[in-house]
Structure 1
Amino acid sequence: MSRSDQDHHGADGHHHEHSGEPDWKHNGVRVIKGDSLDSNTAQTPGMFRQAAINHARVGAQKIWAGTVTIHPDAKTGVHHHGELESVIYVVSGKARMRWGNKLEYVAEAGPGDFIFVPPYVPHQEINADPDEPLQCVLVRSDNEAVVVNIDNVDPVEKPETVYWVDPIHKHP
Protein backbone atom coordinates (compact mmCIF):
# COMPACT_ATOMS: atom_id res chain seq x y z
CA MET A 1 0.00 0.00 0.00
CA SER A 2 1.43 3.39 -0.94
CA ARG A 3 1.88 6.22 1.56
CA SER A 4 -1.08 8.14 0.09
CA ASP A 5 -3.22 5.00 0.41
CA GLN A 6 -2.19 4.72 4.06
CA ASP A 7 -3.28 8.32 4.60
CA HIS A 8 -6.79 7.35 3.49
CA HIS A 9 -6.86 3.72 4.67
CA GLY A 10 -4.55 3.72 7.67
CA ALA A 11 -1.73 1.27 8.38
CA ASP A 12 -4.31 -1.43 9.18
CA GLY A 13 -5.66 -1.31 5.61
CA HIS A 14 -9.12 -0.10 6.72
CA HIS A 15 -10.51 3.12 5.35
CA HIS A 16 -10.59 5.95 7.90
CA GLU A 17 -12.10 9.38 7.49
CA HIS A 18 -9.83 12.32 8.31
CA SER A 19 -12.40 13.73 10.76
CA GLY A 20 -12.25 10.65 12.99
CA GLU A 21 -15.81 9.79 11.97
CA PRO A 22 -16.49 6.17 10.96
CA ASP A 23 -16.36 5.47 7.25
CA TRP A 24 -19.93 4.28 6.79
CA LYS A 25 -19.53 3.96 3.03
CA HIS A 26 -17.07 1.07 3.46
CA ASN A 27 -18.06 -0.09 6.96
CA GLY A 28 -21.83 0.37 6.92
CA VAL A 29 -24.79 -1.49 5.51
CA ARG A 30 -23.98 -4.46 3.29
CA VAL A 31 -26.28 -6.18 0.80
CA ILE A 32 -25.54 -9.84 0.20
CA LYS A 33 -27.15 -10.99 -3.04
CA GLY A 34 -29.00 -14.28 -2.88
CA ASP A 35 -26.95 -15.71 -5.73
CA SER A 36 -23.66 -15.01 -3.94
CA LEU A 37 -24.08 -17.05 -0.75
CA ASP A 38 -21.07 -19.03 0.47
CA SER A 39 -21.39 -22.83 0.58
CA ASN A 40 -17.93 -23.07 2.16
CA THR A 41 -19.58 -23.93 5.50
CA ALA A 42 -19.92 -27.12 7.49
CA GLN A 43 -22.03 -29.31 5.21
CA THR A 44 -24.11 -32.21 6.37
CA PRO A 45 -25.51 -35.10 4.33
CA GLY A 46 -29.23 -34.44 3.99
CA MET A 47 -28.85 -30.67 4.03
CA PHE A 48 -27.19 -27.88 2.08
CA ARG A 49 -26.11 -24.85 4.12
CA GLN A 50 -24.95 -21.49 2.74
CA ALA A 51 -23.66 -18.50 4.70
CA ALA A 52 -24.86 -15.01 3.91
CA ILE A 53 -23.72 -13.15 7.02
CA ASN A 54 -20.72 -14.21 9.10
CA HIS A 55 -17.42 -12.81 10.31
CA ALA A 56 -15.45 -13.86 7.23
CA ARG A 57 -17.92 -12.37 4.75
CA VAL A 58 -18.99 -9.10 6.38
CA GLY A 59 -17.19 -8.83 9.71
CA ALA A 60 -20.26 -9.84 11.77
CA GLN A 61 -19.29 -10.20 15.42
CA LYS A 62 -22.42 -11.58 17.08
CA ILE A 63 -24.57 -13.35 14.48
CA TRP A 64 -24.47 -15.92 11.69
CA ALA A 65 -27.17 -15.99 9.01
CA GLY A 66 -27.68 -18.13 5.97
CA THR A 67 -29.91 -20.59 4.20
CA VAL A 68 -30.41 -24.29 4.62
CA THR A 69 -32.15 -26.75 2.33
CA ILE A 70 -33.07 -30.00 4.05
CA HIS A 71 -33.70 -33.08 1.93
CA PRO A 72 -37.09 -34.84 2.07
CA ASP A 73 -37.62 -36.92 5.24
CA ALA A 74 -34.21 -35.98 6.71
CA LYS A 75 -33.86 -35.89 10.50
CA THR A 76 -31.09 -34.86 12.87
CA GLY A 77 -30.06 -36.73 15.96
CA VAL A 78 -30.85 -35.19 19.35
CA HIS A 79 -28.66 -32.16 20.11
CA HIS A 80 -28.57 -28.62 21.49
CA HIS A 81 -26.57 -25.51 20.53
CA GLY A 82 -25.09 -24.54 23.90
CA GLU A 83 -25.67 -20.90 24.77
CA LEU A 84 -26.63 -19.96 21.19
CA GLU A 85 -30.10 -18.79 20.26
CA SER A 86 -31.38 -19.84 16.84
CA VAL A 87 -34.16 -18.49 14.65
CA ILE A 88 -35.41 -20.49 11.68
CA TYR A 89 -37.69 -18.92 9.07
CA VAL A 90 -39.49 -21.46 6.88
CA VAL A 91 -39.45 -20.38 3.23
CA SER A 92 -41.04 -23.53 1.80
CA GLY A 93 -41.80 -27.05 2.95
CA LYS A 94 -42.90 -28.50 6.28
CA ALA A 95 -40.66 -28.41 9.35
CA ARG A 96 -41.22 -30.51 12.45
CA MET A 97 -39.35 -29.78 15.67
CA ARG A 98 -39.23 -32.15 18.62
CA TRP A 99 -37.78 -30.90 21.90
CA GLY A 100 -37.56 -31.58 25.62
CA ASN A 101 -35.56 -33.96 27.79
CA LYS A 102 -37.21 -36.93 26.04
CA LEU A 103 -38.32 -35.03 22.89
CA GLU A 104 -41.82 -35.15 24.36
CA TYR A 105 -42.92 -31.88 22.72
CA VAL A 106 -43.59 -31.43 19.01
CA ALA A 107 -44.60 -28.55 16.74
CA GLU A 108 -44.74 -28.05 13.00
CA ALA A 109 -44.06 -24.95 10.94
CA GLY A 110 -44.76 -24.06 7.34
CA PRO A 111 -43.97 -21.26 4.89
CA GLY A 112 -43.89 -17.86 6.60
CA ASP A 113 -43.50 -19.33 10.10
CA PHE A 114 -40.61 -18.62 12.47
CA ILE A 115 -39.11 -21.13 14.92
CA PHE A 116 -37.13 -19.96 17.96
CA VAL A 117 -34.73 -22.41 19.64
CA PRO A 118 -33.52 -21.12 23.04
CA PRO A 119 -30.10 -21.98 24.48
CA TYR A 120 -29.48 -25.53 25.74
CA VAL A 121 -32.86 -26.93 24.60
CA PRO A 122 -32.49 -30.59 23.50
CA HIS A 123 -34.15 -30.86 20.10
CA GLN A 124 -34.42 -32.72 16.82
CA GLU A 125 -34.97 -31.03 13.45
CA ILE A 126 -37.09 -32.91 10.91
CA ASN A 127 -38.23 -32.34 7.34
CA ALA A 128 -41.80 -33.56 7.84
CA ASP A 129 -42.39 -34.02 4.12
CA PRO A 130 -41.18 -37.31 2.61
CA ASP A 131 -41.23 -35.88 -0.93
CA GLU A 132 -40.32 -32.17 -0.89
CA PRO A 133 -37.25 -30.30 0.38
CA LEU A 134 -37.54 -27.93 3.33
CA GLN A 135 -36.04 -24.49 2.64
CA CYS A 136 -35.24 -22.19 5.55
CA VAL A 137 -33.33 -19.09 6.55
CA LEU A 138 -31.29 -19.65 9.71
CA VAL A 139 -29.94 -16.99 12.10
CA ARG A 140 -27.76 -17.84 15.10
CA SER A 141 -26.62 -15.54 17.88
CA ASP A 142 -22.91 -16.21 17.30
CA ASN A 143 -20.47 -17.09 14.53
CA GLU A 144 -19.36 -20.31 16.22
CA ALA A 145 -21.05 -23.54 15.14
CA VAL A 146 -21.94 -25.03 18.52
CA VAL A 147 -23.63 -28.43 18.49
CA VAL A 148 -23.71 -30.70 21.52
CA ASN A 149 -24.96 -34.17 20.63
CA ILE A 150 -27.07 -35.91 23.25
CA ASP A 151 -26.64 -39.67 23.15
CA ASN A 152 -28.78 -40.70 26.12
CA VAL A 153 -32.13 -39.67 24.56
CA ASP A 154 -33.89 -42.14 22.29
CA PRO A 155 -35.48 -40.02 19.54
CA VAL A 156 -39.17 -40.59 18.93
CA GLU A 157 -38.50 -40.16 15.22
CA LYS A 158 -35.27 -42.00 14.60
CA PRO A 159 -32.97 -40.56 11.94
CA GLU A 160 -33.45 -43.32 9.44
CA THR A 161 -33.67 -42.18 5.84
CA VAL A 162 -30.87 -39.62 5.68
CA TYR A 163 -28.46 -39.11 8.57
CA TRP A 164 -27.02 -35.67 9.14
CA VAL A 165 -23.49 -36.76 9.95
CA ASP A 166 -20.51 -34.43 9.95
CA PRO A 167 -17.98 -33.21 12.51
CA ILE A 168 -20.86 -31.38 14.22
CA HIS A 169 -23.67 -33.96 13.96
CA LYS A 170 -22.40 -37.44 14.89
CA HIS A 171 -23.91 -40.67 13.56
CA PRO A 172 -26.71 -41.67 15.95
Structure 2
Amino acid sequence: MSPEHEEPLWKHDGVRVVPGDRLDPNTAQTPGMFRQAAIDHARVGAQKLWAGTVRIEPDAKTGVHHHGALESVIYVVSGHARMRWGERLEFVAEARAGDFIFIPPYVPHQEINADPDRPLECVLVRSDNEAVVVGITDVEPVEKPEAVHWVDPIHRHP
Protein backbone atom coordinates (compact mmCIF):
# COMPACT_ATOMS: atom_id res chain seq x y z
CA MET A 1 0.00 0.00 0.00
CA SER A 2 1.40 3.41 -0.91
CA PRO A 3 1.97 6.03 1.85
CA GLU A 4 -0.93 8.21 0.63
CA HIS A 5 -3.36 5.29 1.16
CA GLU A 6 -2.16 4.28 4.63
CA GLU A 7 -4.49 4.89 7.57
CA PRO A 8 -3.46 7.86 9.71
CA LEU A 9 -1.87 6.83 13.02
CA TRP A 10 -4.39 8.92 14.90
CA LYS A 11 -7.25 6.70 13.79
CA HIS A 12 -6.11 4.13 16.35
CA ASP A 13 -4.01 6.38 18.58
CA GLY A 14 -6.35 9.38 18.78
CA VAL A 15 -9.24 10.09 21.11
CA ARG A 16 -9.85 7.46 23.79
CA VAL A 17 -12.94 6.91 25.91
CA VAL A 18 -12.47 5.09 29.21
CA PRO A 19 -15.83 3.91 30.56
CA GLY A 20 -16.38 4.78 34.21
CA ASP A 21 -16.94 1.14 35.10
CA ARG A 22 -13.56 0.13 33.64
CA LEU A 23 -11.15 2.17 35.77
CA ASP A 24 -7.94 0.49 36.92
CA PRO A 25 -7.65 -0.14 40.69
CA ASN A 26 -4.03 -1.27 40.19
CA THR A 27 -2.74 2.00 41.65
CA ALA A 28 -1.10 2.91 44.94
CA GLN A 29 -3.69 2.51 47.69
CA THR A 30 -3.71 3.95 51.19
CA PRO A 31 -5.90 3.17 54.20
CA GLY A 32 -9.25 4.96 53.99
CA MET A 33 -8.78 5.84 50.30
CA PHE A 34 -9.51 3.94 47.10
CA ARG A 35 -7.87 5.26 43.92
CA GLN A 36 -8.55 4.13 40.36
CA ALA A 37 -6.71 5.24 37.22
CA ALA A 38 -8.62 6.32 34.14
CA ILE A 39 -5.92 8.08 32.12
CA ASP A 40 -2.23 7.24 32.33
CA HIS A 41 0.58 6.10 30.07
CA ALA A 42 -0.14 2.39 30.43
CA ARG A 43 -3.86 2.69 29.66
CA VAL A 44 -4.02 5.30 26.90
CA GLY A 45 -0.45 6.45 26.21
CA ALA A 46 -0.73 9.75 28.12
CA GLN A 47 2.67 11.43 28.30
CA LYS A 48 2.02 14.32 30.70
CA LEU A 49 -1.16 13.50 32.64
CA TRP A 50 -2.59 11.12 35.17
CA ALA A 51 -6.33 11.19 35.89
CA GLY A 52 -8.52 9.00 37.98
CA THR A 53 -10.90 8.82 40.89
CA VAL A 54 -10.47 8.67 44.62
CA ARG A 55 -12.99 7.67 47.25
CA ILE A 56 -12.09 8.80 50.77
CA GLU A 57 -13.91 7.13 53.65
CA PRO A 58 -15.72 9.17 56.31
CA ASP A 59 -13.36 11.08 58.64
CA ALA A 60 -10.26 9.73 56.81
CA LYS A 61 -7.18 11.99 56.72
CA THR A 62 -3.82 11.76 54.99
CA GLY A 63 -0.49 12.51 56.56
CA VAL A 64 1.28 15.73 55.62
CA HIS A 65 2.86 15.45 52.16
CA HIS A 66 3.54 17.21 48.86
CA HIS A 67 3.76 15.99 45.27
CA GLY A 68 7.11 17.47 44.24
CA ALA A 69 6.97 19.40 40.97
CA LEU A 70 3.53 18.04 40.07
CA GLU A 71 0.43 20.18 39.88
CA SER A 72 -2.79 18.53 41.04
CA VAL A 73 -6.45 19.31 40.49
CA ILE A 74 -9.22 17.72 42.54
CA TYR A 75 -12.85 17.95 41.45
CA VAL A 76 -15.31 17.13 44.23
CA VAL A 77 -18.08 14.90 42.86
CA SER A 78 -19.83 14.38 46.19
CA GLY A 79 -19.09 14.92 49.84
CA HIS A 80 -17.25 17.50 51.93
CA ALA A 81 -13.49 17.98 51.51
CA ARG A 82 -11.21 19.87 53.84
CA MET A 83 -7.71 20.80 52.76
CA ARG A 84 -5.01 22.02 55.14
CA TRP A 85 -1.74 23.42 53.82
CA GLY A 86 1.25 25.57 54.70
CA GLU A 87 4.49 25.23 56.65
CA ARG A 88 2.46 24.24 59.74
CA LEU A 89 -0.85 23.41 58.01
CA GLU A 90 -2.05 26.77 59.24
CA PHE A 91 -4.35 27.38 56.26
CA VAL A 92 -7.64 25.59 55.66
CA ALA A 93 -10.25 25.53 52.90
CA GLU A 94 -13.44 23.54 52.44
CA ALA A 95 -14.86 22.23 49.17
CA ARG A 96 -18.13 20.52 48.27
CA ALA A 97 -19.68 18.88 45.22
CA GLY A 98 -18.95 20.89 42.08
CA ASP A 99 -15.87 22.64 43.52
CA PHE A 100 -12.33 22.39 42.14
CA ILE A 101 -9.18 22.36 44.29
CA PHE A 102 -5.77 23.29 42.86
CA ILE A 103 -2.60 22.12 44.62
CA PRO A 104 0.59 23.82 43.33
CA PRO A 105 3.97 22.06 43.28
CA TYR A 106 5.78 21.48 46.58
CA VAL A 107 2.91 22.74 48.78
CA PRO A 108 2.74 20.74 52.03
CA HIS A 109 -0.87 19.68 52.49
CA GLN A 110 -3.28 17.26 54.11
CA GLU A 111 -6.46 15.91 52.51
CA ILE A 112 -9.41 15.29 54.82
CA ASN A 113 -12.92 13.94 54.42
CA ALA A 114 -14.70 16.42 56.69
CA ASP A 115 -17.89 14.36 56.82
CA PRO A 116 -18.05 11.77 59.61
CA ASP A 117 -20.87 9.86 57.91
CA ARG A 118 -20.38 9.88 54.12
CA PRO A 119 -17.55 9.12 51.72
CA LEU A 120 -15.89 11.88 49.71
CA GLU A 121 -15.81 11.12 45.97
CA CYS A 122 -13.41 13.06 43.75
CA VAL A 123 -11.79 13.13 40.34
CA LEU A 124 -8.04 13.71 40.52
CA VAL A 125 -5.78 15.00 37.73
CA ARG A 126 -2.00 15.31 38.02
CA SER A 127 0.44 16.94 35.64
CA ASP A 128 2.57 13.82 35.19
CA ASN A 129 2.28 10.04 35.11
CA GLU A 130 4.85 9.58 37.85
CA ALA A 131 3.32 9.12 41.30
CA VAL A 132 5.29 11.56 43.44
CA VAL A 133 4.43 11.68 47.13
CA VAL A 134 6.90 13.17 49.57
CA GLY A 135 5.90 12.55 53.19
CA ILE A 136 6.73 15.34 55.63
CA THR A 137 7.44 14.13 59.15
CA ASP A 138 8.59 17.33 60.87
CA VAL A 139 5.13 18.98 60.79
CA GLU A 140 2.57 18.17 63.47
CA PRO A 141 -0.74 17.95 61.56
CA VAL A 142 -3.62 19.96 62.98
CA GLU A 143 -5.90 17.03 62.16
CA LYS A 144 -4.04 13.83 62.94
CA PRO A 145 -4.01 11.18 60.19
CA GLU A 146 -5.29 7.67 60.75
CA ALA A 147 -3.10 5.58 63.07
CA VAL A 148 -2.27 3.20 60.20
CA HIS A 149 0.99 3.95 58.38
CA TRP A 150 0.76 4.12 54.61
CA VAL A 151 2.97 1.46 53.07
CA ASP A 152 2.75 0.96 49.32
CA PRO A 153 4.90 1.73 46.27
CA ILE A 154 4.73 5.51 46.83
CA HIS A 155 4.39 5.70 50.63
CA ARG A 156 7.19 4.26 52.76
CA HIS A 157 6.98 3.32 56.43
CA PRO A 158 8.37 6.22 58.52
User: What is the TM-score normalised by the length of structure 1?
Assistant: 0.85
Q: Whole-Å Cα distance in 2 between the matches of residues 150 and 63 of structure 1?
A: 24
Q: Which runs of 5+ in 2 are unaligned?
A: none
String of CA shifts for 1:31-50, please: whole Å, max 9, x gaps. 11001101011111111100
For the residue of structure 2 that corresponds to 1:25, the secondary structure is: helix
Q: Whole-Å Cα distance in 2 between the matches of residues 129 and 105 of structure 1?
A: 19
Q: Does 1:106 align with 2:106?
A: no
Q: Provide the aligned length of Structure 1 versus Structure 2.
A: 156
Runs of 4+ in 1 over 4 A off after TM superposition: none
Q: Whole-Å Cα distance in 2 between the matches of residues 47 and 145 of structure 1?
A: 15
Q: Whole-Å Cα distance in 2 between the matches of residues 163 and 124 of structure 1?
A: 15
Q: What CA RMSD, in Å, does the superposition of the two structures yield over aligned residues? A: 1.8
Q: Which runs of 5+ in 1 are unaligned?
A: 1-6, 8-16
Q: Whole-Å Cα distance in 2 between the matches of residues 80 and 43 of structure 1?
A: 16
Q: Whole-Å Cα distance in 2 between the matches of residues 156 and 52 of structure 1?
A: 32
Aligned with residue 133 of structure 1, among 101, 104, 119? 119
Residues 15-34 of structure 1: pairs in structure 2 closer than 5 A? 18-19=3-4, 22-34=8-20
User: What is the TM-score normalised by the length of structure 2?
Assistant: 0.92
String of CA shifts for 1:126-172, please: whole Å, max 9, x gaps. 00001100000000000000000000000000114x64612333567
> Partner of 2:29 in structure 1?
43
Q: Whole-Å Cα distance in 2 between the matches of residues 32 and 169 of structure 1?
A: 27
Residues 163/97 of structure 1: CA separation in 2 closer, same or farther (3 Å cut): farther
> Partner of 1:143 in structure 2?
129
Q: Whole-Å Cα distance in 1 between the matches of residues 107 and 56 of structure 2?
A: 21
Q: Higher Cα Rg: structure 1 or 2?
A: 1
- Alpha-carbon shift at residue 23 of structure 1 (Å): 2.0
Q: Is the 8 A contact 1:46 1:163 kept in 2?
A: no
Q: Whole-Å Cα distance in 2 between the matches of residues 163 and 86 of structure 1?
A: 25
Q: Does 1:165 align with 2:146?
A: no
Counterpart of 2:52 in structure 1: which amino acid?
A: G
Q: Whole-Å Cα distance in 1 between the matches of residues 77 and 148 of structure 2?
A: 22
Q: Whole-Å Cα distance in 1 between the matches of residues 118 and 7 of structure 2?
A: 50
Q: Does 1:65 align with 2:87?
A: no
For the residue of structure 1 that corresponds to 2:3, the secondary structure is: coil
Q: Is the 8 A contact 1:165 1:171 kept in 2?
A: yes
Residues 163/137 of structure 1: CA separation in 2 closer, same or farther (3 Å cut): farther
> Partner of 1:152 in structure 2?
138
Residues 30/54 of structure 1: CA separation in 2 closer, same or farther (3 Å cut): same
